[in-house]
Amino acid sequence: MTSVENIFKTNEGAQEMRARSEISAKEILREVGSVLRMSEAEAAKLGQIPADADEDQTMIINMGPQHPSTHGVLRLMLELQGEKVLRCKPIIGYLHTGMEKTGEELTYMQGGTNVTRMDYLSPLNNELVFSMAVEKLLGIENDIPERAIWMRMLLSELNRMSSHLLFLATNGMDLGAVSMMLYGWREREEVLRFFQKVTGLRMNHNFIRPGGVAADLPAGWRDDVLAILEMLPGRLAEYDILMTDQPIWRERLQGVGVITADEALALGTSGPILRSTGVAWDLRRDQPYLHYDKVEFDVIVGSYGDAFDRYAIRINEIRESIRIVYQILDAMPLGDYRIQNKKVTPPPRARIDESMEALIHHFKIFTEGFKVPEGEVYVGIESPRGEIGCYIVSDGGPKPYRIHMRAPSFVNIQALPHMMRGGLVADAVAVISSIDPVLGEVDR
C-alpha cells in the first residue's frame, strides 16, 4: 500500500520510517527490534533480514504525535501487516525546547528552574540530581546538613509516589479502565497538595537547590505526610481489586511487550523496565546517595519482562516508598535546612535589614551567582522512570559551561521497536504506556 512519495510528504525526511527497499539491513534490524551484539556467534545473523512480507502487503501508518495514548507528542511510525506490527520507529523532537542550551545561559542558582521542567512528573528528582552534581563540583557534597538530606529524601520519595500514581492512572485509561484515571489523579492530588504546602507550587518546584533546600518544612507537615501514608494503602488495595486481580486486566497485559534482561541492558534501559526483566538494579540501593543506605526497603523485580510486570513493579514501589517515608519521619532531625556556606547560601532575610554587607552579598549572589571550580562531573540517581543523570562541565564561572541531562525516558523509548515487534496495534498502546515516557524529558 505504501509508496515512497507518500512517505516523504511531511518534513521529517530521513528521520521517518522508510520503505524496506530503501534502507540498509542494519537499520531494518534496528526497526524490527533486533538487538545487535557483534559477537562472533551473532554476527552471522546480521545478514538475515526477517522476510516478513512483501512491501505491497504492508502499510506504514503514523501513531501520534497527537494520539492520546502516546503521553504527549511521541510519534510512532508503524509498519503493519493487517493488525500485526512488523516495524516501529519512534520519532521525537516535537517538544524540543533546547533546555540544555538554555542551561548554559543560567547561573547555577537559576539552573533549578530549568531542569525541573524536563521530567515534569518528577521535578524534585531533576532538581536533586542537578543540585548533587553542582555540590560535587563545589566539593561540598559531604557538608550538606542532615535535615536537608532527609528532607530531600522525603520529597523525592513522595514524588516517586505521585509519579507512579499518575502512571497507574494513565495506564488504566490507555487500557480501558477509565475509572482508574480518576482514582490515580485523585490520589496524586493529595501528594501535590502537600508539595504545594511545602514548596509553594504543585509542580516545577525549584525547591531542592545547590546547598540544601529552599525553605524549612511548614508547621504541621508531619500530620500531612501521615495522612497521605494512611490513605494510600487502602487505595492501593482497591486498585488491586480493580485491576491486578482482574482477569481482563491480566489478559490485556501479561505476555505483552516482552523484553529479556540481556536486551534491556544492551539497550541501556533502567528503572522499572530493567527491573521487570529480573535485574535487581536500583541506584538507591546499588549506588546509595542521600541516606538511602540508612533506610530499609526492597527492590521490586519482575520475572517475565512484560507489561504486567512493569505495572506490578510500579504499584509495589509505591508501597516501598510508603515504607521508606515512615522511616524518614522517624529519622527527620532538627537543624539547618541548607548549608551555612556564604559562598552558595544567600543571607537570611532578617540580616538584610541590619547589615550592608549582607545586602550586598544577597544582591551579588542573585545577580552574578556563585563561581564553581573548573571540572566535570556526572551524577546519576534513581528517578521513578530510571536513571536520571546530570553531566556538568564547569569552566570556573558562575554558569555551567555544558549541562547535559541523561533522561531515562529518552533511552527507554529505544526499547519500543523491540517490545512491539510481532504484537498487535492494540497492544502497542499497552507497551507505550508500560514504558511511561515523559516527553518533556525525552525532547528536553
Task: Quickly list DSSP for 183-229.
Answer: HHHHHHHHHHHHHHHHHS-SS----EETTEESSPPPTTHHHHHHHHH
421 binds another protein (CB under 8 A): no
Q: Should residue 384 be labelled a site residue for another protein when binding is judged by CB under 8 A?
A: no
What does the block give as the cell for 394? 564547569
Nearer to another protein, 286 or 368 (CB): 286
The nearer residue to another protein, 252 or 284, going by C-beta atoms, is 284
Cis peptide preceding 50, ω within 30 of 0: no
Residue 127 or 135: the one with the smaller Cβ distance to another protein is: 135
Contact with another protein (CB under 8 A) among 402, 422, 424, 425 = 402
- All three cell numbers of 276: 521487570
Check binding of 107 to another protein (CB under 8 A).
no
Beta-bridged to residue 75, according to DSSP, are 91
| 284 contacts another protein (rule: CB under 8 A) | no
In the list 139, 200, 255, 333, the residue contacting another protein (rule: CB under 8 A) is: 139
Nearer to another protein, 96 or 186 (CB): 96
Please, what's the largest Cα pairwise distance for the chain? 81
For another protein, the closer CB: 119 or 387: 387
The only residue of 7, 265, 329, 359 in contact with another protein, by rule CB under 8 A: 265
Q: How far is the CB of 60 from another protein (least distance, A)?
A: 16
Beta bridge partners of 60: 79
Residues 265 and 274 sit within 8 Å (Cβ to Cβ): yes
Taking a C-beta distance cutoff of 8 angstroms, is the pair 127, 85 a contact?
A: no
Q: Is 270 in the site for another protein (CB under 8 A)?
A: yes
The residue (of 27 and 216) whose beta carbon lies closer to another protein is 27
- Binding residue for another protein, selected from 211, 406, 429, 437, defined by CB under 8 A: 406
- Close Cβ partners of 277 (under 8 Å, ≥ 6 residues apart): 259, 260, 261, 263, 264, 302, 305
C-alpha 316/C-alpha 237 separation (Å) is 11
Binding residue (CB under 8 A) for another protein from 286, 298, 357, 368: 286
Indicate the residue among 368 and 374 with the shorter CB distance to another protein: 374
Residue 23 grid coordinates = 534502507
- Select from 211, 389, 437, 440 the one that contacts another protein (CB under 8 A): 389
Strands 84-91 and 208-209: unpaired
Q: How far is the CB of 98 from another protein (least distance, A)?
A: 6
Residue 186 in the binding site for another protein (CB under 8 A): no
Contact residue for another protein among 75, 136, 310, 314 (CB under 8 A): 136
CA distances from 110 to 97, 98, 283, 378 (A): 17, 16, 27, 19
Question: Does 334 engage in binding with another protein (CB under 8 A)?
Answer: no
Task: Give the closest residue to 433 by CA, choosing from 180, 222, 170.
Answer: 170
Residues that bind another protein (CB under 8 A): 10-15, 23-24, 26-27, 29-30, 35-38, 92-93, 96, 98, 100-101, 105, 136-139, 265-270, 279, 281, 286-287, 373-378, 380, 387, 389, 391, 393, 395, 401-402, 404, 406, 410-411, 413-414, 443-444
